[in-house]
Amino acid sequence: MPGFNWKVRCWVARMLVAFALLLGGPAVAAETVRIVALGDSLTAGYGLDAEDSFPAVLKAELRKRGHDVEVVNAGVSGDTTRGGLERLDWAVPEGTDAVILELGANDALRGIEPAATRANLESIVEQLVARDIAVLLAGMQAPPNLGDDYAEAFNAIYPDLAEQYDVLLYPFFLAGIAAERHLNQSDGMHPNESGVEAIVERMIEPVEALLAAARGVEAAEGTALER
């Protein structure tokens, strides 16, 4: 994704922490960065205690790294991209600096046409960008039982939109976790506590890049590196 190197952005974010500590000021910025995690059950923390959900674990890890952040859990179990679009205005209130957008898994599970999923996600991203909210788009992948044509159309949605709107992309939210029995609950679909920790560990650098984007730090020109 041209011009949006998240590794550069997270390096800049870390440098901000270091400079602030040297100067004796606040950890990274004068104001708290407010992130909304907009998603489905994977964000909401289905089957987990609130403190073990993705937003809560992410917040704890970011604060451990010196970032002054709030991470709001706007996950709704069973939500589709259409549901996320319909609740966007109240789920992402004024004062939000950044959004981690994790939707689409339920669309694929229900076999919703990829064109409809694309249109819903595009509308969400377009509205967020128009509000000057930094976006990290967390990709999903279609189940193999839906066939190659469906998977090709569905899986392309996320990189296409990230490029079109010049937003950050994490290609697959469940990368390294999907199909790993020891990282999932008994349903085989939702991460357990260890699975959530693994997601946060894998996503932390892209999220630090999101923080840099929310603070208006421009990435260096070049080709984006993806996990």
Kind of pairing between the strands at 69-75 and 98-102: unpaired
Close Cβ partners of 221 (under 8 Å, ≥ 6 residues apart): 3
Annotated catalytic, 67?
no
Q: What is the pTM of this model?
A: 0.85
Catalytic one of 49, 132, 148, 187: 187
Residue 129 burial by Cβ neighbours in a 10 Å radius (0-12, 13-18, 19+): middle
Contact assessment for residue 135 and residue 168, using Cβ atoms and an 8 Å cutoff: yes
Catalytic one of 41, 79, 97, 107: 41
- Examine residue 227 and state whether it is found in any structural domain, yes or no: no
Give the residue among 1, 75, 32, 14 at the shortest CA–CA distance from 207. Answer: 14
User: Rg (Cα) of the chain, in Å, rounded?
Assistant: 17
- Examine residue 220 and state whether it is found in any structural domain, yes or no: no
Catalytic one of 40, 53, 107, 190: 190
Annotated catalytic, 79?
no
pLDDT value for 14 = 54
pLDDT value for 8 = 54
Lowest mean pLDDT among 19-28, 180-189, 207-216: 19-28
Question: Structurally, how many domains does the chain consist of?
Answer: 1
Structural domain containing residue 38: 6-214
Read off the CATH number of the domain in which 54 is found: 3.40.50.1110
Annotated catalytic, 89?
no
